[in-house]
Amino acid sequence: MDTTRRRLFTLGVGAAGVIMAAPAILRATSRMLMPAAGGNRVVIVGGGWGGLSAARWLKRSRPSTEVVIVEQNNIFMSCPLSNLYLGNVLPLDRLQFSYAGLGRAGVVFQQARVTGVDRDSRVLETSGGKIGYDYLMLSPGIDYMWDQVPGLWEGRHDIPIAFKPGPEHLHLKETIDKFEGGVFALCIPEGPIRCPPGPYERIAMIAYNFKKRGLKAKLIVLDANAKPMSKGKGFLAAYESLYGDIVEYNPSHQIESVDHAKRRITHTFGDLDYDAANIIPPMQAGEIVRIAGVGKRWAPINATDFSTLADPRVFMIGDAIGDQPFPKSGFMANTVGKIAAAHVMEKLEGKDPTPIEPANTCFSMVDGDDGGRSIWVTHGFTWNAGESKFDRTATVDLNPTRDSAQAAMRWASSIWSEMLG
């Protein structure tokens, strides 16, 4: 096992992305880890793009605030740009970072798994002990809805998903690297999902991998949606011009079940036998949303300040947010993390909330030669005071360019430094 592989497995997650119960860090405990808060403590659950952005923004903007992040993994891995790792365009080490910079910035990092929330007493229960809070910010990302694809849970050790950062990506990369030809199936669920353009960029990067290796392969895509969820014309044009002999894209193909032993997928129009597969199931907010009682599949929020409808002291960040026109993207989580942090500061200072308009940018790579070529989309949001909601506009550039690919790398590097540096 090489260094990168060892490093990934310190995340405490098995190859199929299932949390392993052995490490002591995951055992529940009733001891008080951080006593009751004194009016100035903000606890953030989740050390991804949203949680880190909120923590750093809070500490920079209001240094007197006690900021605590609770995260079960001991290193950060970026989901944005992870498809480039699958295409052999970017090494894994470029996506992994230490959390040590948080301590230097004055943020308390607690490596633990959340086991409960007592909202009446304002106490977060974790595997490391109980933590009192004045305000709680949840940035839990997503969980998979395993029951929506019969047979997928039973086949999880053979069929990677890789929409949560960590060993899942290692599992999928190993599956791709071991594939020597034949049929590779990639299945996409109906939205909403984390990173709507992510599966379509992944198609391009896997096809690029196969093309560079000279494999006799078919990448057969079964998409439950009638068309790609984002940047569709750009992706479909790239598949045709770059990977016409590899990619077969099939819209409106809903997965009904999978038999991993027979390597067979049953879908709307029949069966597909495959040699390897990446099956992405429907998604929902991370489990803490249901544990805390602030949402079901997704968490509805007050758009004016990003607090949950269930509790004005609990705020939502990132992919877990429901009932809003926000794409579930890394940059959206980064932006909303800062906005929610600003609203928490308003609460701490006794001010009324003022709506803050977010923004989103998303780059998608379609090939990897000479640094790659990328397409992109941006979203702008304006506050509609009459209806108390955000209205969305979009601008896209579907012409793949190396300038856009270089901009994507600068964009990601800047945010990684901002969050973790």
Instruction: Provide the 10 A C-beta neighbour count for residue 6.
Output: 9
Q: What is the pLDDT of residue 19?
A: 33
Q: What is the pLDDT of residue 274?
A: 98
Where do the domains of the chain lie?
3-143+284-357
Residues 285-317: pLDDT tens digits? 999 999 999 999 999 999 999 999 999 999 999
Q: What is the pLDDT of residue 4?
A: 40
In whole angstroms, give the CA distance from residue 117 to residue 126: 9
Give the confidence band of 222 by pLDDT, cuts at 50, 70, 90. very high
Checking if the pLDDT of 8 tops 60, the result is no
Checking if the pLDDT of 26 tops 90, the result is no
Give the confidence band of 39 by pLDDT, cuts at 50, 70, 90. confident
Place of tokens 């990132």: 318
Q: What is the pLDDT of residue 7?
A: 39
Instruction: Provide the 10 A C-beta neighbour count for residue 300.
Output: 16
Q: Which two tokens stand for residue 372?
A: 């790659």
Give the confidence band of 36 by pLDDT, cuts at 50, 70, 90. confident
Q: Give the CATH number of domain 3-143+284-357; options: 3.30.2040.10, 3.20.180.10, 3.50.50.60, 3.40.640.10.
A: 3.50.50.60
Q: Where are the beta strands (DSSP E) in 162-275?
A: 182-188, 217-223, 247-250, 255-259, 264-267, 270-273
- The rounded radius of gyration (Å) of the Cα atoms in the chain is 21
Please indicate whether residue 408 or residue 22 has the higher confidence score (pLDDT).
408
Report phi then psi at 371, rounded to 5: 90, -5
Give the confidence band of 10 by pLDDT, cuts at 50, 70, 90. very low
In whole angstroms, give the CA distance from residue 182 to residue 217: 5
Identify whether the C-beta of residue 88 lies closer than 8 Å to the C-beta of residue 181: no
Give the pLDDT mean for 269-292. Answer: 98
Nearest by Cα to 211 from 236, 235, 244: 244
Residues 6+ apart with CB under 8 A from 196: 229, 230, 327, 328, 329
For helices 402-420 and 330-348, give the axis angle rounded to 10 degrees.
30
Checking if the pLDDT of 347 tops 50, the result is yes
Residues 227-236: pLDDT tens digits? 999 999 999 9
Report phi then psi at 122, rounded to 5: 55, 60
Q: Model pTM?
A: 0.93
